[in-house]
Structure 1
Amino acid sequence: MRVLSTFSGISAASVAWKPLGYGFVGYCEPAAFQCHVLNQRCNATAPKYLPHGKGFERRKYGSIPGGSVVNFGDITQITDDDLRALGQIDVLEGGSPCQAFSISGLRKGLGDDRGNLTLAFAKLAARMREINGLRFVIWENVKGVLSDKTNGFGCLLAGLAGSGSGGHPVESPRGGWTNAGHVLSRDEHGNADVSICWRTLDSQYFEVPQRRERVFLVASFDGAVDAGSIFAERDCENRDPSSRRGPQQADAGSREIGSGDLIWPPVLGTLNASGAGMSRPAGQGNELDFVLVFSDGTVRRPTPLECERAQGFPDGWTDVAVGGRATLDIERYRGVGNSMSVPVMEFVGYRLLKAVEAAEQERMAA
């Protein structure tokens, strides 16, 4: 399964999916610190395209050496020639910026340039379906996207289902979008063309000590694979793909995260770009959820390492050199807080593989 990752950040998808056999042929991430992580952990290049505006000066990337996997940077500047050079792509993956749909970001939805990147993602998927034979899309965002007043989620569904920018958004049911759903699009002949399924998943149920509700969406352009089968769990046995992590990654949620036994809290609130310790009106848990209390009397905030573990990353994943200097804690907090939970991505990637294998077995038996 060949993957193009977008809005890659520090690439939870790479950590989760490479052990499953996925191959990453490209990344799209313009933020300087995250680009350094992608270079040192995933051998990605410096970004080919940078957004226009403050914060993306080319000098910030001068210390990134070589790299064998292209990082396109800004997804809006990817050309058709860029896509043709990639060849066949099975999966387009990404979590477009969530600030436009979160309370902390004032929930401007599609009235925010960051929200419009969701539409750019859908347009990229349509182009890749034509140029690269794209089979699947996996997208992630905050739960607030389901109640966005500008109906960004409905616009995304329309774009993925083939309506394109000239079509109308899919209207939400009365009362808004539910935490899980299934959409089937048919072509002009009435044949099933695109299936889309989404489900809200909480990281705390995937062996990491963090409450983190996120919407995961799968779109299938492969008529043999219904996206609904990815999230249709009929039992609990298939939830955990289990034991494909190395020793340093195993049991991230249960490992000791500091000196002394942790007695509070049992589960952290939702990590964000600040890491921990910031009063927030964003529904991300009580301030005390970010104070660690240990049996030896120690009271402190989580460290970047502990935040990595709360997201399921290998220890030190974000501890990289940036232009000859050591990384700053705030950079690590931001990278981890803006990323996805590795075990949840592992679950989604595993279930997609199982659905593809089942479809292939049915084809061979026919």
Structure 2
Amino acid sequence: MRVLSTFSGISAASVAWKHQGFQIVGYCEPSPFQSHVLNQRCGATSPKYLPAAKGFEAKKYSGITGGTVINFGDIEQITDDDLRALGPVDILEGGSPCQSFSIAGFRGGLSDSRGNLMLAFARLALRMKEINKLKLVVWENGKGVLSDETNGFGCLLGALAGGRPPVEPPGRGFTTAGHLLVGRPEEPLEEVTIAWRVLDSQRLGVAQRRERVFVVCSYDPAIDAGAVLFESEGEGWSAETRGGTEEDPAGSSEGRVGGLIWPPVVGTLNASAAGMSRTAGQGNELDFVIITHGGKVVRRPTPLECERLQGFPDGYTDVWFEGRPAEDHHRYRGLGNSMTVQAMEYIGHRINLIQAEAYPLRVAA
């Protein structure tokens, strides 16, 4: 399946999905460091469009050369001609900035320009539905979006469903899982299905508590978004494939997080030195105390350990940036803002499974 990746960051989707048979046909990431990672690890070009804001000066991208997969950069500047040049695209994926829905970002919601990028993502999806025959949308964000006072999540659901009015939450916020059917029974081909579910990375095989909301929207009448996100009985994702067990879903961190003995599962990595700059109210950041063998050394995780906690290959963010090896703070930020690879592997696995059920002859061919 052909994929356009947006808000790509360092692209957990590429690491997770390429070996599952997906083809990334384009990226959309304007940040300088992340763009260098995409270039050196995924063969992406320098960003085509840059935001007119401080921090995106052209000189910051001078180290990017070559590239065979386009990086559009700023999502809001992608044109219809750009989309037509891509040809058919099956999946649009992306995790728009979560800062405006988090405690660390002061929960500005849609009053924050970063929050509004979720609606730019939805508008892009509708354009691609018409131009690229888009079938599926995969979106990710922090759990806080479900209780956002500006109802950004409801606005996103309505927008993905065809520019309809916002969906109102049943109470003070949305539940941690849901399933919508939007359309008219007399016109089944116009039906849109949308499902969402909170996934915790520690249940998918990494030693990190990381709860994130995943939304799947299907414009394909043969594929129900709910079937992608919700398993039937006995159909669950096996933690053992990632080294975990029922008692220890994340698996032993020995040998995976640098000889770590405490804590066995760390708190949520974020963009501020991978969680070491704690904002008031984020008690889980106290978990970022690593005690090595013998209890003699107390320290924070290294960038290498954070790569493992996010499911990336060792050294993935150790790239050449600004004329020298990337500094730790760039690597921490890129990793803290990323999706977990295993979470995207789970989504990819479910898409392939449901795709095979819906189109057995096509998949067999």
TM bracket (short chain): over 0.9
User: For the Cα contact (< 8 Å) 2:159–2:165, is it kept in 1?
Assistant: no
2:204 to 192, 206, 214: 206
Task: Pick closer, same or farther for the CA change 1:266–1:18 going to 2, 3 Å.
Answer: same
Deviation of the 1:305 alpha carbon: 0.4
User: For the Cα contact (< 8 Å) 1:30–1:56, is it kept in 2?
Assistant: yes
Asked if residue 184 in structure 1 is aligned to residue 181 in structure 2, the reply is: yes
Asked if residue 265 in structure 1 is aligned to residue 229 in structure 2, the reply is: no
Between the aligned partners of 1:244 and 1:211, the Cα distance in structure 2 is 15
User: For the Cα contact (< 8 Å) 1:25–1:70, is it kept in 2?
Assistant: yes
User: For the Cα contact (< 8 Å) 1:252–1:312, is it kept in 2?
Assistant: no
Between the aligned partners of 2:242 and 2:12, the Cα distance in structure 1 is 15
Q: Which residue number in structure 1 is paired with residue 359 of structure 2?
A: 360
What are the residue-to-residue correspondences of 1:273-312 with 2, within 5 Å? 273-274=271-272, 275-283=274-282, 285-287=284-286, 289-296=287-294, 297-312=296-311
Between the aligned partners of 2:308 and 2:156, the Cα distance in structure 1 is 32
Deviation of the 1:176 alpha carbon: 1.8
Kindly provide the CA deviation profile for residues 73-102 of structure 1, in whole angstroms up to 9, marking residues without a partner as x. Answer: 000000000000000000000000000110
**AA aligned opposite 1:263:** I
Deviation of the 1:189 alpha carbon: 3.7
Between the aligned partners of 1:24 and 1:242, the Cα distance in structure 2 is 28
Task: Pick closer, same or farther for the CA change 1:309–1:153 going to 2, 3 Å.
Answer: same
Q: Which runs of 5+ in 1 are unaligned?
A: 246-250
Q: Which residue number in structure 2 is paired with residue 248 of structure 1?
A: none
**AA aligned opposite 1:38:** L
Deviation of the 1:255 alpha carbon: 4.7
User: For the Cα contact (< 8 Å) 1:208–1:252, is it kept in 2?
Assistant: yes
Asked if residue 326 in structure 1 is aligned to residue 325 in structure 2, the reply is: yes
**Matched position secondary structure for 1:44:** coil
Between the aligned partners of 1:133 and 1:284, the Cα distance in structure 2 is 45
Higher relative strand content: 1
Asked if residue 116 in structure 1 is aligned to residue 139 in structure 2, the reply is: no
- Over the aligned positions, Cα root-mean-square deviation in angstroms equals 2.1
**Matched position secondary structure for 2:65:** coil
Give every structure 1 segment of 4 or more consecutive aligned residues whose post-TM-superposition deviation is greater than 4 Å: 241-245
Deviation of the 1:262 alpha carbon: 2.6
Q: Which residue number in structure 2 is paired with residue 195 of structure 1?
A: 193
Q: Which residue number in structure 1 is paired with residue 130 of structure 2?
A: 130
User: For the Cα contact (< 8 Å) 1:13–1:345, is it kept in 2?
Assistant: yes
Q: Which residue number in structure 1 is paired with residue 237 of structure 2?
A: 239
TM-score (norm 2): 0.92
Between the aligned partners of 2:142 and 2:152, the Cα distance in structure 1 is 12
**Matched position secondary structure for 2:338:** coil
Deviation of the 1:174 alpha carbon: 2.2
Q: Which runs of 5+ in 2 are unaligned?
A: 244-249
Asked if residue 3 in structure 1 is aligned to residue 17 in structure 2, the reply is: no
Deviation of the 1:170 alpha carbon: 1.1
Task: Pick closer, same or farther for the CA change 1:182–1:237 going to 2, 3 Å.
Answer: closer
**Matched position secondary structure for 2:48:** strand
**Matched position secondary structure for 1:317:** coil
Asked if residue 230 in structure 1 is aligned to residue 228 in structure 2, the reply is: yes
Between the aligned partners of 1:69 and 1:252, the Cα distance in structure 2 is 35
Aligned length: 354
Q: Which residue number in structure 1 is paired with residue 344 of structure 2?
A: 345
Between the aligned partners of 1:352 and 1:258, the Cα distance in structure 2 is 30
Task: Pick closer, same or farther for the CA change 1:7–1:354 going to 2, 3 Å.
Answer: same
Asked if residue 144 in structure 1 is aligned to residue 144 in structure 2, the reply is: yes
Deviation of the 1:201 alpha carbon: 0.5
**Matched position secondary structure for 1:45:** coil
Task: Pick closer, same or farther for the CA change 1:267–1:258 going to 2, 3 Å.
Answer: closer
**Matched position secondary structure for 1:51:** coil
User: For the Cα contact (< 8 Å) 1:83–1:132, is it kept in 2?
Assistant: yes
User: Which region of structure 1 is more displaced relative to structure 2, 139-148 or 170-179?
Assistant: 170-179
**Matched position secondary structure for 1:199:** strand
Between the aligned partners of 2:252 and 2:326, the Cα distance in structure 1 is 24
Task: Pick closer, same or farther for the CA change 1:127–1:94 going to 2, 3 Å.
Answer: same
**Matched position secondary structure for 2:173:** coil
Deviation of the 1:53 alpha carbon: 1.0
Deviation of the 1:362 alpha carbon: 8.8
User: For the Cα contact (< 8 Å) 1:10–1:38, is it kept in 2?
Assistant: yes
Deviation of the 1:230 alpha carbon: 1.0
**AA aligned opposite 1:143:** K
**AA aligned opposite 1:234:** S
Between the aligned partners of 2:133 and 2:97, the Cα distance in structure 1 is 26
User: For the Cα contact (< 8 Å) 2:29–2:71, is it kept in 1?
Assistant: yes
Asked if residue 173 in structure 1 is aligned to residue 186 in structure 2, the reply is: no
Task: Pick closer, same or farther for the CA change 1:194–1:241 going to 2, 3 Å.
Answer: farther
TM-score (norm 1): 0.92
**Matched position secondary structure for 1:263:** coil
**Matched position secondary structure for 1:336:** helix
Between the aligned partners of 2:155 and 2:102, the Cα distance in structure 1 is 17
Deviation of the 1:172 alpha carbon: 1.1
